[in-house]
Amino acid sequence: MSETTIRSGYAKRTHTRILIIGGLFALLILLTGVAATLGSYSISVIEVFETILGGRGADSDISTIVWNYRLPRILMGILAGAALGLAGAMMQGILRNPLASPFTLGIASAASFGASLAIILGAGFAAGGSLIIGNAFLFTLIAAAAVYGLAQIRGITPETMIMAGIAIMYLFSALTSFLQYLGDSEDVNAVVFWMFGSLGRSTWETVSVVAILVGALFPLFLLSARSLNTLSAGDEAAKSLGVPVEQIRIGGMAGASLLTAGVICFTGTIGFIGLVAPHITRMILGGDHRFLLPGTAVVGALVLLGADSIGRTIMAPQILPVGIMTAFLGVPFFIFLFLSRRRNYW
Amino acid sequence: MVTIATDTVKFSYGSAPVLYNVTFRLETGAILALVGPNGSGKTTLIRCIDRILHPEGSILINEQNIHTMSRNDIATTIGYVPQNGTKIAAATVFDVVMMGRTPHMSWRLGDGDIDRIEYAIQLLGIEDLAERDYNELSGGQQQKVLIARAIAQDPKILLLDEPTNSLDIHHQLEALATISDISRSTGMTVVMAVHDLSIAARYADMLMMLKNGTIVAIGKPEELITPERIREVYNVDARILYDPEAGLIVAPLRAVPGVAL
């Protein structure tokens, strides 16, 4: 291979990856239009886009339905999918482990415990209607801090963080089971339903909060992409190449935990995206985090919005919780990619 | 370009001391080979010089203490080729060599970065592997990629931990000639841990013999490599031969029995 082909090979790969991300993004916009047509009131895709481009406040049934009911749910699906995908990609990157996700590190089981505490005992950190949200958010951060604290005793390495995370996960799962054992059946039902994960509780306020969180953290994640790439060669090599390994690991953990907490406190636990969206993206785009991170955000959004759209229609008028649908939709696709790829993607 | 000077460097893993009072000075552009038996502290010394480990005592790079340098300053000055064996997820050879640009590049890979990556890939003769998956390469190929990564880093000092241990003799000679050429043409200072004494003698200006974490001797290879010293350091009886082209050749004869590591 001559000099020009090393350079042009890189340029070609870069263009391909940008094109794929652009294509996935276009698909997401199309899916948004299709998702907004789903429901008992029939609206065409063209009408949906006209209504969205026409802005909020037009005095028509279509505008009310699209803006007030369907868009908050759809946007929450997009933002939650992007956030959980990013959180998973970050955790897999900083821990160099294909099984890492917000769930394997106990963060999500802590959120479930926080929500259970609010539902069953009415106890927690916030007042009134925000009790479940406040509890889920805070317990998520407490779990992240506990993982960090435990891991730090032996030094912040992927192994210590995963061991600490697994311990925390089992602890909070046991605590949640204990609360369910104490609770009456109505409360237990509510906890179980919360743990399925749902976009049904989305409002413009909750969408705004998640949008701010994703908007603030996504650029920081992108800035760390180069360090994450180098970290994949091991701590020692990364240090020697100038990467502040511990800061990246602690910052990445904090960022991923915040994103996860910010989403699942509103939606309940949606488990599958954080693990699998990064893998699907890695198989398509490769391991360079400069492309992997934005790609994962789009793929996470696509999978979550697609799952929710199918969940809303497949047994209509009954709506299946999105947490269940993500696995039904994502697992076959993931297995197909996994079996059909010749190359080692991890 | 850059000198290395250490003063009474000590390091322990927990309570097990590995280096004691290592003091030496290496001038710009010199090639130093660290030799000694397994566990003598060669790798530890290399890691200390790159501040991956934090020893007692002082290590000065161009008269500046490495403890006062930022991680990025160290990375633009010192390149490190570890022993291979680490899997790297979803990375092509190009991606791995690109990592060498980490301390230099901004978020985007600039033209200058690509120039340097190309230079490193060509220098090691691994153009044909550029788009291959790193994990699929043989140990020897991976070793060349890691050397290319350090060359892409454009360091003033190059540290290599047994750079030839998975290479066949053809590629050993090639890789060491490449490193030696770069050192001669750019004044890059080189420190490498090597097991093969004949190779060390052939390519190094200076030899440091380590045993149990201390320096047994440091000096020119032809002065240091004697049957007595090889017996002292390795507990091996050896004969020293001389070939007009290959230089000094160490022919190990037998291990002295009954000596623990």
Q: Which amino acid is at B255?
A: A
CA distance B128 to chain A (A): 5
ipTM of the complex: 0.89
pLDDT score of B259: 59
Interhelix angle for A204-223 vs A289-313, to 10°? 160
CA-to-CA separations, A144 to A2, A110, A248, A346, B112, in angstroms, rounded: 49, 9, 15, 25, 41
Asked if the Cβ–Cβ distance from A232 to B47 is below 8 Å, we say no
Residue A240 has its nearest CB partner, among B52, B86, B90, at B52
Tell me the CB-side half-sphere exposure of residue A330, using CA atoms within 13 A.
30
Rounded Cα–Cα distance for residues A324 and A312 (Å): 12
A234 and chain B in contact, CB less than 8 A:
yes
Q: Which pLDDT band, with edges at 50, 70 and 90, does B43 fall under? A: very high
B98: which chain A residues are within 8 Å (Cβ-Cβ)?
A: 229
Which domains, and CATH codes, for chain A?
3-340 (1.10.3470.10)
pLDDT score of B81: 94
Check if the beta carbon of residue B236 is closer than 8 Å to that of residue B252.
yes
Residue A282 has its nearest CB partner, among B79, B90, B98, at B90
Check if the beta carbon of residue A44 is closer than 8 Å to that of residue A34.
no
pLDDT score of B97: 96
Rounded Cα–Cα distance for residues B240 and B249 (Å): 6
The arithmetic mean of pLDDT across residues B125-143, rounded, is 90
Rounded Cα–Cα distance for residues A34 and A4 (Å): 44
pLDDT score of A343: 62
Q: Where are the domains of chain B?
A: 4-255
Task: Determine the distance from the C-alpha atom of residue A293 to the mean position of all C-alpha atoms in its chain, rounded to a whole number.
Answer: 12
Rounded Cα–Cα distance for residues A72 and A88 (Å): 24
pLDDT score of A127: 65
Share of chain B above pLDDT 70, in %: 98
Pick among 3.40.50.1100, 3.40.50.300, 3.40.50.12370, 3.40.50.720: CATH of B4-255: 3.40.50.300
Query: Which residue of chain A comes nearest to B135, CA vs CA?
Result: A344
- Sort A317 into a burial class: Cβ within 10 Å, 0-12 / 13-18 / 19+: exposed
pLDDT score of A341: 67
Q: Which residues of A91-123 are buried (b: 16+ CB within 10 A; e: fewer)?
A: bbbbbbbeebbbbbbbbbbbbbbbbbbbbbeee
For residue range B116-133, list pLDDT tens digits in order: 999 999 999 999 999 899
Low-confidence ranges of chain A (pLDDT < 50): 1
**CB proximity list for B21: less than 8 A, separation 6 or greater:** B8, B9, B10, B57, B214
User: Is it the case that residue B84 has pLDDT exceeding 80?
Assistant: no
Task: Determine the distance from the C-alpha atom of residue B221 to the mean position of all C-alpha atoms in its chain, rounded to a whole number.
Answer: 17
Rounded Cα–Cα distance for residues A65 and A43 (Å): 10
Question: What does DSSP assign to residue B256?
Answer: P
Report CA Rg, chain A.
Answer: 21
User: Is it the case that residue B28 has pLDDT exceeding 80?
Assistant: yes
- Sort B228 into a burial class: Cβ within 10 Å, 0-12 / 13-18 / 19+: exposed
User: Is it the case that residue B73 has pLDDT exceeding 80?
Assistant: yes
Tell me the CB-side half-sphere exposure of residue B44, using CA atoms within 13 A.
24
pLDDT score of A4: 61
Q: Which pLDDT band, with edges at 50, 70 and 90, does B72 fall under? A: very high
Asked if the Cβ–Cβ distance from A290 to B80 is below 8 Å, we say no
Query: Which residue of chain B comes nearest to A93, CA vs CA?
Result: B89
Rounded Cα–Cα distance for residues A84 and A115 (Å): 19
